[in-house]
A and B are shown apart, each in its own frame.
Chain A
Amino acid sequence: MQALEEEIKSLIIEALNLEDITPADIDAGAALFGDGLGLDSIDALELGLALQRRYGLSLSADSAETRRHFASVRALAEFVAAGRK
């Protein structure tokens, strides 16, 4: 799971072209949106696309659930791990 979290951190930095941020700067448990990493609504769309391209999985049609998956790197890693099975 740790490896997957690192992979997702790199995916986020690459897909969103984040400047001056390395995987080590991202706390796997911290909020991705709002106060945490400061990602925005367009980042959410971009990240959704990147996850679908990399792992071939679709987000749920339930936006409340999607928001839960997007809460942190850890939540995303759990979602990706569950979806890949």
Chain B
Amino acid sequence: MAEFVDLDRWMAHRRPADAVVALRDGAAVTFAEFATLTAGWRAVFAEVAGARVALHFEDSLDFAAALFGAWHAGKQAVLAPDLLPGTLRRLSAEVCAIASDMPATTDLPQVRPLAVVANTAWLALDQQRDALHVFTSGSTGEPVLIGKRLAQLCAEIRALDAAFGDRIGCGCVHASVTHQHMYGLPFRLLWPMASGRVFASRRLVFPEDMQRALADAPGATLVTSPAHLKRLPEQLDWAPVRAQIGAIFSSGGPLPDEALPLCDRVFGRRPIEIYGSSETGAVAWRQRELDASSPWLPLPGMTVRIYGERLHLRAPWLREADEQEVADRVAAHAQGFALLGRADRVVKIEEKRVSLDAIERDLRDSGLLLDVRALVLPDERARIAVVAVPDAAGWAIHDSEGRRALVARLRTLLATRVEAVALPRHWRFIWAMPANATGKTTSAALQALFDARRPHARLLAQDEQNARLQVEVAADSPFFDGHFSGSPILPGVAQIDWAIRFARELFSLPEGFSRLDQIKFHDWIGAGTQIELTLQRVAADTVAFRIASDVGSHASGRLVFGAAT
């Protein structure tokens, strides 16, 4: 393996012109070719006024050339997380130009590399300069730029090499994650470059790409994430991959336990998991073997201190000389620590950091909602869900154009600021946020609104004793499962469930359920209809209900709450 060359001297380092730097579509790209490309970027960036340029590339080779070109032109690079309109707007205040291999809709000058006669004279870079800026969601959820000096990047890569240099192979480094963030950038690009490994320029988007690339790559390293590792299709022929893969890295979010046996079967080995963040870079690692709850071990050079549940870090690749506190809660272990969850309202959705506060703020700005809460539903595929109380304008859209139209309006608003995977997938519009006895909206109460058995409903009228709701009898309600195939009829138990559910949401009632009185079912209710549910509180513990529709009365009765007598 080639000697380790720090980033500041990487271009200036004397190496054979035909030394292979990268693989693009199976073809080797030499240092001479890379230097020519980089010189073209250096030339165009040298003509740009201003200190910072934004980079956003799908291809890692083009990105690397633009990055080194920018550095050698004296510029700082800002990593654009995406090309969404909101991001581009934010960037235009921070940078003077943008370079990308994809079209971007922006007023910023978009630059392409100049065709230059290869100028291969490269000086060493100043390690103490600000070299890189990345967006991270601050504590408020508003993205903020954080800067990194070249020395910080160099220190992090040295730490990675010290920790893993001997554990991974010398083969090509392939990745399913982009280099546009602080996991992908060092792992798939900068560390391979500094350690003399070849990196693959194209990202492996689908598992099939991964299988094909790795089947033909002895001793390869795969830089990937839980999004891929938990969705590996076992039907593919992974045997050639298993026979020769060198190492797998996973980061970006927690890798579920269930993904480990899948990794065993597909790759014959377990990933090295990395814990880190944009602010801190890589912090700790673990490779779970038999003990699936292995603690996280700090990287060499990372000093970890734990106060209560809070993690404090110090490392040569952190900006602050002082200790930096991170927003993850941890528990100390003999050798390292265990992660317990976030201390703030930032969540990870498929490796994308999403601020629930920011989503709520953006939605509140819609002018269509009085109140809104964003949450993550604890199902298999954690997705963001929204509970919202529309205002008059919001309900007007809801009532005239339908619920989906209101959802579409709100989603469109978010889509310019939030990446697709982080867009809320589930929506509930209600008349008031659920509140417990102390007036707090608990996450359990919010999650209960997403119970598949709870139908969509619109409160039509309410006073102290009475409430009237319009309830959608959706064809996909679980109450229709097996009742009956081909001719769905809403079971009586569903009608009682709905009456109890909405009575509890609308009135303060005693705990427990005592009995049903005077229950009558008059007429059946089919799928895809609308019914009106009338609730009347006739005593402190008793609510009378009636279900009716255009065709007449369907059911009525009394619900008696409180301990069974």
Contact = CB atoms under 8 A, between A and B. Distances in A.
A60 B230 CA distance: 20
A61 B420 contact: no
Contact of B206 (A17, A56, A63): A63
What's the interface size class on B, roughly? 20 to 34
Given A17-B381, A20-B403, A63-B209, A45 B421 contact: no
Given A19-B427, A38-B411, A46-B231, A66 B421 contact: no
A20 to B, nearest CB: 5
Interface in B196-244: 205-209, 211-212, 227-228, 231, 233, 235-236
Interface string A4-48: 000000000000011110100000000000000011111011101
B288 interface: no
Contacts, number: 65
B427 A52 contact: no
B144 to A, nearest CB: 25
A35 B426 CA distance: 18
A41 B233 contact: no
Interface residues of A, number: 23
B328 interface: no
| Most A Cβ at <10 Å: residue of B206, B233, B420 | B206
B427 A38 contact: no
A35 to B, nearest CB: 10
Contacts of B425: 17-19
B231 A59 contact: no
Nearest to A18: B425
Given A49-B231, A49-B233, A38 B206 contact: no
B212 A61 contact: yes
Given A20-B403, A42-B227, A60 B208 contact: yes
Contacts of B228: 45
Contact of B208 (A17, A18, A59): A59
Contacts of B211: 61
Given A19-B425, A41-B420, A46 B209 contact: no
Interface string B416-429: 00011101011100
A42 B350 contact: yes
A46 B206 CA distance: 11
Contacts of A41: 205, 420-421
Contacts of A48: 206-208, 231, 233
A20 B405 CA distance: 11
A62 B227 CA distance: 20
Contact of A61 (B209, B231, B423): B209
B411 A40 contact: no
A58 B235 contact: yes
Contacts of B236: 58
Interface of B: 205-209, 211-212, 227-228, 231, 233, 235-236, 350, 379, 381, 383, 403-404, 407, 411, 419-421, 423, 425-427, 475-476
Interface of A: 17-20, 22, 38-42, 44-46, 48-49, 52, 56, 58-61, 63, 66
Q: Which 5 A-B pairs have the closest CB atoms?
A: A40-B420, A61-B212, A61-B208, A40-B421, A45-B231
